[in-house]
Amino acid sequence: MSATPHPLLDIEDLTLELPGTARPLLADVSLQVRLGEVVGLVGESGSGKSTTAKAALAMLPEGTRTTGSVRVEGTDVLGLRGEALRAHRARTVAMVHQDPRAALNPVRRIGDFLTERLAHAGLTDRRTAQKRAVELLDTVGLSAPERRVRQRPHELSGGMLQRVVIAGALAAEPRLLLADEATSALDVTTQAEILDLLRTLRAERETGMLFITHDLHLAAAYCDRVLVMYAGRIVEQQPASGLFARPRHPYTRGLLGCSPALGDTGSRLRPIPGRPPSLADAFTGCPFAARCSDAEAACETWTPEPFRLDDGDSDGADADVVAGEAACRRLPALAERTAP
């Protein structure tokens, strides 16, 4: 992995607030993605994962009040406007969404989707873009790419369409890829093929990736580091290898307890009681206290501190302890239970 003077993606103390909501969309979110690194972001629906990713593209709801910073290759993304912002979205960062059909115009050909991406990025003229579109489809492993560029979305399977969307995301060779539940709608065989493709592209291009998923097992197997998000906050981060061995935060342990493990047929799943807070739910103290079996009275008034990861500590053994102690006042006592 090549050394860079600054992270590829650097989000620091990001807080997003919308008028009329009882709590922020995001609260003091900090994370980093380096060149060639895959960072997983996991949590239940509504936890703020997609909003965090969209912040890297400055795609925020209208009227959002913002504090903190979002930098990509050292550039302040939230300060970009006009042509500079369009160039950033076209060339520097690309996003792969969960549903490829939503990203494609159903009445236009696959080749049109790809050539428009290339032309909009200003990388080539339309005639050369046609040739490049075929090359991109071949790169992502689609058979007969010359024929695929003439087809429409309804003629391709879900796995094929996901490859088309990935090809479009890679058209401008971005340094940062945001994968938002990019494989969750696929069957397990196709999912494995798409993950292998992304792994190969990462190795060949040193692309950094923010990998959003609700599947902890997938995140632990695929990512270098995993960050756990709840109610707009990052509550824990660990190297992927340590997430299952020693989960720190009660919410992380809850997610693992309600996730089936391959080959484990003797134990029952333990769902997390209650539901995640919505933007209409006001609370004080720890946002997970109402659902936490280890909560005590003080948790209802204690406020988690912002999560910070010191530069250079992303692979350090103490990084998860820093995150956990900031996000859960009960962590020192709870950590003793899970100590090996």
Mind listing the pLDDT tens digit for each residue in 63-101?
A: 999 999 999 999 999 999 998 998 898 888 999 988 888
Q: What is the pLDDT of residue 340?
A: 43
Under 8 Å between Cβ of 308 and 328? no
DSSP state of 213: E
Q: Tens digit of pLDDT for each residue in 101-142?
A: 888 999 999 999 998 877 766 666 777 888 889 998 998 889
Tokens of 131: 């040739």
Number of domains in the chain: 1
Stronger pLDDT, 306 or 83, i.e. the higher one? 83
Q: What is the pLDDT of residue 3?
A: 46
Instruction: Tell me which residue has tokens 């050909």.
Output: 109
Mean per-residue pLDDT for 328-336? 66
Tokens of 66: 């913002």
For residue 170, is it within any domain? no
Mean per-residue pLDDT for 55-67? 93
CATH number at residue 292: 3.40.50.300
Q: What is the pLDDT of residue 313?
A: 46
Coil, strand, or helix at residue 254? Answer: helix
Residue 238: domain span: 13-73+212-340
For residue 192, is it within any domain? no
For residue 148, is it within any domain? no
For residue 105, is it within any domain? no
Tell me the pairing of strands 65-72 and 9-17: antiparallel
For residue 257, is it within any domain? yes
Confidence tier at 302 by pLDDT (50, 70, 90): confident
Under 8 Å between Cβ of 241 and 217? no
For residue 32, is it within any domain? yes
Going by C-beta distance under 8 Å and a sequence separation of 6 or more, which residues neighbour residue 179? 95, 96, 198, 209, 210, 211, 212
Confidence tier at 41 by pLDDT (50, 70, 90): very high
Distances in Å between the alpha carbon of 215 and those of 41, 43, 45? 10, 8, 11
| Gyration radius of the chain over CA positions | 21
Under 8 Å between Cβ of 198 and 208? no
Confidence tier at 312 by pLDDT (50, 70, 90): very low
For residue 23, is it within any domain? yes
For residue 18, is it within any domain? yes
Q: Tens digit of pLDDT for each residue in 213-263?
A: 988 888 888 999 999 999 999 998 889 888 878 888 889 889 888 877 666
Q: Where is average pLDDT lowest: 77-91, 273-287, 304-318?
A: 304-318
Under 8 Å between Cβ of 162 and 100? yes
